[in-house]
Amino acid sequence: MSAILQAHELGKRYRQRQALTDCTLEIPPGHVVGLVGPNGAGKTTLLKIACGMLAPTTGRIEVLGGQPNGGTAQLARVGYVAQDTPTYASLSVADHLKLGAKMNPAWDAKLAQDRIEQLDLNPRQKAGKLSGGQRAQLALTVAVAKRPELLILDEPVASLDPLARRGFLRHLMESVAEHDTSVILSSHLISDLERVCDYLVVLVSSRVRLAGETDDLLARHHRIVCSRRQGSDLPAGLEVISAEHTERQSRFVVRSEGELPAGDWSAEHLELEDLVLTYMEPPVDRGGDTAMQPTGEAR
């Protein structure tokens, strides 16, 4: 398999609203992928199409080499946990496991039971009486116990407190490591992505602005501070991603495919949050002439 997800000019329209437009993306297998972008970028729509909950209006998509809505066999290969970590309030924890066993042919009853015991969840407890963190863990248990090849998580910890988020992510990574599952995790919490993800996709206005292995992307991006100049005055081979100017100084975020050339500037690598936020901003032209307005002297 060359990719766990391939989308080409994918689009989705809801009556008068275009939720996804010309989205083209290819994600290789064997990664925990962080999907990030501003509200309205199309992340949830993309993930719902990928797991077969929505049909695209235009374009094409393949997940694990097949069509997302390609029948029960295809659906069994993908696990999905939505933003509100849906559970059935009137069903007990044990009822959720029984339902999961009936609906999923590859259901791993031992895995599900072991996770419930590890999490100290009462099998007789109604889901509606569980805390937010416990419901999230229950939803994750049902998703991983179906033994999917791909696990899709759409903001699963957005409403959890920091301790519950950490517990959820720890159990997620334990399951991924044990069963060699590929994961796509959408989140606004960059610190969570930094903790668990080794591949990054930044989606802005339905378009992929950045994609690649996290360590490689961080190694190729630099912030440089120098005397006032335009991006076109920088050495060849440096792609200007963002630019800020004051009266005397310029500050650029640049991408370099090789080593950063020597120059009359100070330079540093970006942290993941800075990298993501830079790509979420409007792009500059290659000369850097459409930079942001100055906010004070660069330091």
Can you give the pLDDT at residue 1? 60
pLDDT of residue 28: 94
Tens of pLDDT, residue by residue, the chain (299 residues): 689 999 999 999 988 888 899 999 999 999 999 999 999 899 999 999 999 999 999 999 999 999 998 888 888 899 999 887 789 999 999 999 999 999 898 999 999 999 999 889 999 999 999 998 899 889 999 999 999 999 999 988 777 788 888 888 888 888 888 888 999 999 988 988 998 999 999 999 888 999 999 999 999 999 999 999 999 999 988 999 999 999 999 999 999 988 888 889 999 999 999 999 999 987 765 444 444 433 333 32
Predicted pLDDT of residue 170: 86
Q: Looking at residue 117, what is its pLDDT?
A: 93
Which domains, and CATH codes, for the chain?
A: 5-205 (3.40.50.300), 216-280 (no CATH)
Euclidean distance between CA atoms 61 and 52, whole angstroms? 10
Looking at the DSSP assignment, which residues form a beta bridge with residue 169? none
pTM above 0.85, yes or no: yes
Query: Terminus-to-terminus CA distance in the chain, angstroms?
Result: 47
Residue 279's CB: how many other CB atoms inside 10 A?
A: 22
